Structure 1
Amino acid sequence: MSCCFFVVLFILGIVKKKRRLKMSIETRAAFEKVKPIILKLKRHYYIQLWDRDDWLQEGHIILLQLLERYPELIEEEERLYRYFKTKFSSYLKDLLRRQESQKRQFHKLAYEEIGEVAHAIPSRGLWLDDYVAYQEVIASLENQLNSQERMQFQALIRGERFKGRRALLRKISPYFKEFAQQL
């Protein structure tokens, strides 16, 4: 009894392998049929960081999903073309939408460790440690000014014009000399 069971399992395994092999041959043939569609869409759309192999691989994946869901498409060539073109172009449009969305704009530039190239980037602003020192100078300076000068200093920070601006700038300029070289 158990011998027959194993024989049946063995035969089923062979049938499944043959079916997979047949499906693999049919899938390759179907892929060769839809390959021009993939290459045409490749000329039409631009997906970042994709080369020809990526396009072919994604097209193959979409084809396999399509054949898994609609196995009868292998016999119906015309329907296969229509279904594949629709599904693959929809897939590409989704990728483009995702690529162009506002939240993912930072993906446009290739990632590079900033620590490795920081010396080559010209900076018009202050580094973090300089910014902290700058804020400390502002806080200590505000404590040293009288109330009128403090109000003028706040107006100066806001970029406003007022009477006595030049005199105030002359008075506080020694405090900011080391920062003037970096800006």
Structure 2
Amino acid sequence: MDFEKTYQKVRGTVLKCHREFYLHLWDTCDWEQEGMIVLYHLIEENPIVLDDDDKLHVYFKTKFRNHIIDKVRMQEAKKRTLDTKAYVEVSEVGHLLAEPGLYMDELVLFKNQIQEYKNTLSQQELDNYQRIVSNQCFKGRKKMLKAMAQYFQEFDPRKSSKILK
């Protein structure tokens, strides 16, 4: 049995849980270590998983997710609030905070860009723009969407990531 090769088979589950759950002060090394510990215990309890990759993935995913959920519950338990820090520096965990939309400066720029775009449209095109905003169909919709895509391409996350590279 090569433990490292077996762990590489289930490492994706560990990384996915790392993206899904937040555990205070855990970094990637901690997640991988917990994954190895859980895998070791799984192999000890059920050595048959070494012969069947499908069972290995199913058993490991279930056992690891339950283990992480237990850790999250312990972290969030009211009786353990004295064990946690009262203050966490935002710069340390800022990358973990979800950002549902644009930053404020990007939003202002986007609204200005929309206003400039609307100023370039004729009355018929402005009516069509209102139809696009209200998700209605009309003749020439694809053409107008292509023109808008060119105008707003700096807000496309796929294109901006290429620019940054």
Q: What is the TM-score when the length of structure 1 is the normalising length?
A: 0.46
Deviations 1:118-147 (A, max 9, x none): xxxxxxxxxxxxxxxxxxxxxxxxxxxxxx
Aligned partners of 2:65 and 2:48: how far apart in 1?
Answer: 21
Give the aligned partner of residue 66 of structure 2: 90
Aligned partners of 2:28 and 2:63: how far apart in 1?
Answer: 19
Runs of 4+ aligned residues of structure 1 deviating over 2 Å after TM superposition are: none
Q: Give 5+ residue unaligned stretches, structure 1.
A: 1-22, 112-183
Give the aligned partner of residue 46 of structure 1: 22
Deviation at 1:28, TM superposition (A): 1.3
CA RMSD of aligned residues (A): 1.4
Aligned partners of 1:110 and 1:39: how far apart in 2?
Answer: 28
What fraction of aligned residue pairs are identical, expressed as a percent?
A: 40
Aligned partners of 1:32 and 1:63: how far apart in 2?
Answer: 11
How many matched pairs? Answer: 87
Give the aligned partner of residue 28 of structure 1: 4
Give the aligned partner of residue 144 of structure 1: none
Q: Map 1:104-115 to 2 at 5 A.
A: 104-109=80-85
Aligned partners of 2:53 and 2:75: how far apart in 1?
Answer: 32
Aligned partners of 1:42 and 1:35: how far apart in 2?
Answer: 11
Does residue 56 in structure 1 map to residue 29 in structure 2? no
- Secondary structure in 2 aligned to 1:59? helix
Aligned partners of 2:63 and 2:72: how far apart in 1?
Answer: 14
Residue 41 of structure 2, aligned match among 42, 59, 65:
65
Letter of the aligned partner of 1:92 in structure 2?
A: I
Aligned partners of 2:13 and 2:72: how far apart in 1?
Answer: 18
Q: Give 5+ residue unaligned stretches, structure 2.
A: 88-165
Does residue 79 in structure 1 map to residue 55 in structure 2? yes
Deviations 1:80-104 (A, max 9, x none): 0000000000001111111101111
Point out the structure with max Rg over C-alpha.
Answer: 1
